[in-house]
Amino acid sequence: MLISSRIAGGLAAVALALATAAAPAGAQITQPRNTKEFGLDAGLVVGLGDISSVQIALPTARARIGYFLANDSRWSLEPAVGLNYIKVEGGDGALFYNLEAGALYHFAPPSGLMDVAEANRVSVVYARPFINLSGVTGDGGDSEFSAGGGLGVKIPWRSGLAWRLEANAGYGFDNEAFRLGAFAGISFFTR
């Protein structure tokens, strides 16, 4: 468990360092209207409580869509979903689901991620509060509500594409477990 908390802390430190180093002073870029961010993330979540757990999801833990609230907005709403179905011969199938609603606050306007001109591309640090419903269907199925927050960075890769790294923490109310998580993914921006 100590290794996982070090990974989450290290990821947050790297995200902040990259964002501060990559942000040019005085960059003024306007974001096109109706920008959306589509993404896929790999994930690691460590649960610390009465019953500890580790969840690793590769190559993807969830799919997400971000909706920016207005032109040049620093806020976006972001629902995300992760679904897995498992069926073993001779037994009932089970659907594992993870439904999440989050809101991202970007510490700088995120429009620089979409610019074609290399000189105008900037990394953007964000904070993300979220609520989550996860569970499993079938015999002995259960669900849990949790809430938390994350800190991450979007790092431009190519025009309209960015890498996304995030460290987060949350609390599961049903099993009273504290969770540390990390996501690494890619985002595609539409105009």
Residue ranges of the domains in the chain?
2-24+31-190
Identify which has the larger pLDDT, 69 or 140: 69
In this model, does residue 42 exceed pLDDT 70?
yes
Identify which has the larger pLDDT, 139 or 163: 163
In this model, does residue 69 exceed pLDDT 90?
no
- Identify the pLDDT of residue 22: 43
**What's the pLDDT band for 17 if we cut at 50, 70, 90?**
very low
Among 59-73, 92-106, 131-145, the range of highest mean pLDDT:
92-106
**What's the pLDDT band for 139 if we cut at 50, 70, 90?**
confident
| Alpha-carbon gap, residue 16 to 70, rounded angstroms | 25
**What's the pLDDT band for 5 if we cut at 50, 70, 90?**
very low
Is domain 2-24+31-190 given the CATH code 2.120.10.80 in the classification?
A: no
Half-sphere exposure of residue 41: CA atoms within 13 angstroms, side-chain side:
22
In this model, does residue 160 exceed pLDDT 90?
no
| Alpha-carbon gap, residue 24 to 93, rounded angstroms | 52
**What's the pLDDT band for 111 if we cut at 50, 70, 90?**
low
β-pair partners for 127: 105, 151
Identify which has the larger pLDDT, 145 or 1: 145
- Identify the pLDDT of residue 93: 85
Q: Three-class SS string for 14-79?
A: HHHHHHHHHCCCCCCCCCCCCCEEEEEEEEEEEEECCCCEEEEEEEEEEEEEEEECCCCCCEEEEE
In this model, does residue 89 exceed pLDDT 50?
yes
Nearest to 135 by CA among 125, 143, 146: 143
Q: Please state, for a pLDDT cut of 90, what percent of the chain lies above it.
A: 49
Q: What is the pTM of this model?
A: 0.77
Identify which has the larger pLDDT, 134 or 92: 134
